[in-house]
């Protein structure tokens, strides 16, 4: 039925061992023999049996990339970068690693499922992107899984996620969300804003918490009171930004600025302000986070914190492949850059 190594061997008049060696290319095989084998492979349209090969060799060429939401460019960009470092530029068939991205949808159960599946497949490496859930049992479960993955020989790299206590040998490339949040609000305060709404991401996520803490830090440093009614939580989507902005306007019509958890949320905020007849930034300034590609095309262009998503992903990919040295202590912080654009300005209604 299906063609096996033995069939190829028979046709090439050599032993299965020789065919295997030709295919793996890590053992001397005479040119003529190799030639003959390769022709047999072609003639028979032979395709290696992956499971059999992984079983015998006790290794696999799978690299898993976990993302929270594959439809969100934030993750898409990182995944694409990781992947570009895993798969060679040419994308050759032989001896290549195969990068697969797994969409957890932000669900800790699915995150765990995928990690188990990756462990089952004896993945060569696993890159986990995006913030972590702060629920203790889940964090412990996932941390434990990451540790076991590491022990089983998979290189584990966290990208845009704080280090996990339970998995000390995982490399972590952490985004400086707190610092970015701090600088963003500093900027707004510097412009003269005092009543600043904050639309945070979902609770219980490290990213959400860190960005919010940066914001609060800036308020505190400037002696601006932190009115808890001006902070709202919601998912990282446009809708959340829209609704929250309306609610903020209701709660505090005197608001002069809105900081959003990320650019997508900020876009929703802009839409809500426009629908209310308010001008950006004259009536209300808006700021985002991440600097996704579309942010520069918003009108006015969005002030935001640029995270080097592609660069960080690429670095994570290289570390996963063992092509770049791990940072000292296995931890590196990736900083964001404040991008001041048209969506923020001095408050008019001060």
Q: In the complex, which residues of this chain contact DNA (CB under 7 A)?
A: 2, 4-6, 13-18, 20-21, 23-24, 26-30, 32-33, 46, 48-49, 52-53, 55-58
Question: Least distance from C-beta 11 to DNA, angstroms?
Answer: 12
Which partner from the list its own copies, DNA, none does 71 bind, CB cut-off 5 to 8 Å by kind? Answer: its own copies
Answer for the pair 129, 75: CB distance below 8 angstroms, yes or no.
Answer: yes
User: Which x/- pattern, by CB under 8 A, does the window 61-80 give for its own copies?
Assistant: --------xxxxx-xxx-xx
- CA-CA distance, 292 to 297, in Å (whole number)? 10
Which partner from the list its own copies, DNA, none does 220 bind, CB cut-off 5 to 8 Å by kind? Answer: none
CA-closest candidate to residue 289, choices 166, 193, 175: 175
Restricted to residues 152-181, the positions that interact with its own copies (CB under 8 A) are 152
Restricted to residues 4-43, the positions that interact with its own copies (CB under 8 A) are none
Tokens of 154: 């998979």
Q: Is 50 in the site for its own copies (CB under 8 A)?
A: yes
Answer for the pair 65, 101: CB distance below 8 angstroms, yes or no.
Answer: yes
Q: How does DSSP classify residue 348?
A: S
Q: How does DSSP classify residue 133?
A: B
**Binding residues for its own copies, how many (CB under 8 A)?**
65
Which partner from the list DNA, its own copies, none does 84 bind, CB cut-off 5 to 8 Å by kind? Answer: its own copies
Helices (H), the chain: 5-12, 16-24, 31-44, 50-57, 73-86, 108-120, 136-151, 177-191, 206-222, 238-251, 263-275, 309-320
Question: Least distance from C-beta 12 to its own copies, angstroms?
Answer: 20
β-pair partners for 26: none
Single out the residue of 148, 194, 318, 341 in contact with its own copies (rule: CB under 8 A).
148
- CA-CA distance, 132 to 246, in Å (whole number)? 29
Tell how far CA 27 is from the center of its chain.
39
- CA-CA distance, 236 to 165, in Å (whole number)? 26
User: Which x/- pattern, by CB under 8 A, does the window 246-285 give for its own copies?
Assistant: ------------------x--xx-xx--x-----------
Q: Is 146 in the site for its own copies (CB under 8 A)?
A: no
- CA-CA distance, 107 to 276, in Å (whole number)? 35
In the complex with DNA, the residue whose CB is nearer, 18 or 216, is: 18
Interaction site with its own copies (CB under 8 A): 2, 45, 47-55, 60, 69-73, 75-77, 79-80, 83-84, 87, 90-93, 96, 98-105, 107, 109-110, 112-114, 116-117, 119-122, 148, 152, 238, 264, 267-268, 270-271, 274, 293-294, 296-299
């Amino acid at each position: 039925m299906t063609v096996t190594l033995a069939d190829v061997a028979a046709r090439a008049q050599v032993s299965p061992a020789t065919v295997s060696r030709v295919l793996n290319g890590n053992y001397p095989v005479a040119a003529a023999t190799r030639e003959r084998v390769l022709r047999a492979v072609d003639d028979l349209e032979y395709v290696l049996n992956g499971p059999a090969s992984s079983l015998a060799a006790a290794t696999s060429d799978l690299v898993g990339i976990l993302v929270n939401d594959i439809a969100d460019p934030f993750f898409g960009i990182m995944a694409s970068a990781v992947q570009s470092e895993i798969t060679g530029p040419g994308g050759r068939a032989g001896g290549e690693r195969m990068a697969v991205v797994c969409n957890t949808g932000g669900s800790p159960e699915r995150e765990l499922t995928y990690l188990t599946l990756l462990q089952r497949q004896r993945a060569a490496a696993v890159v986990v992107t995006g913030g972590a859930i702060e629920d203790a049992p889940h964090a412990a479960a996932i941390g434990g899984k990451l540790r076991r993955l590491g022990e089983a020989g998979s290189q584990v790299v966290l990208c845009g996620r704080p280090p996990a206590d339970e998995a000390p040998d995982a490399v972590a490339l952490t985004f400086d969300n707190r610092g970015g949040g701090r600088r963003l609000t500093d900027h707004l305060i510097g412009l003269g804003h005092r009543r600043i709404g904050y639309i945070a991401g979902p609770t219980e996520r490290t990213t959400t918490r860190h960005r919010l803490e940066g914001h609060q830090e800036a308020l505190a440093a400037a002696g601006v009171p932190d009115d808890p009614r001006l902070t709202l939580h919601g998912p990282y989507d446009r809708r959340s930004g829209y609704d929250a902005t309306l609610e903020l306007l209701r709660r505090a019509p005197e608001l002069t600025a809105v900081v959003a958890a990320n650019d997508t949320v900020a876009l929703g905020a802009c839409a809500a302000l426009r629908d209310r007849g308010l001008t950006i930034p004259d009536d209300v300034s808006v700021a985002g986070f991440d600097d996704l590609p579309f942010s520069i095309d918003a009108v006015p262009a969005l002030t935001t914190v640029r995270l080097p998503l592609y660069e960080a992903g690429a670095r994570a990919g290289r570390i996963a492949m063992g092509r770049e040295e791990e940072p000292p202590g296995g931890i590196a912080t990736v900083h964001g850059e404040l991008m001041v654009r048209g969506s923020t300005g001095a408050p008019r209604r001060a």
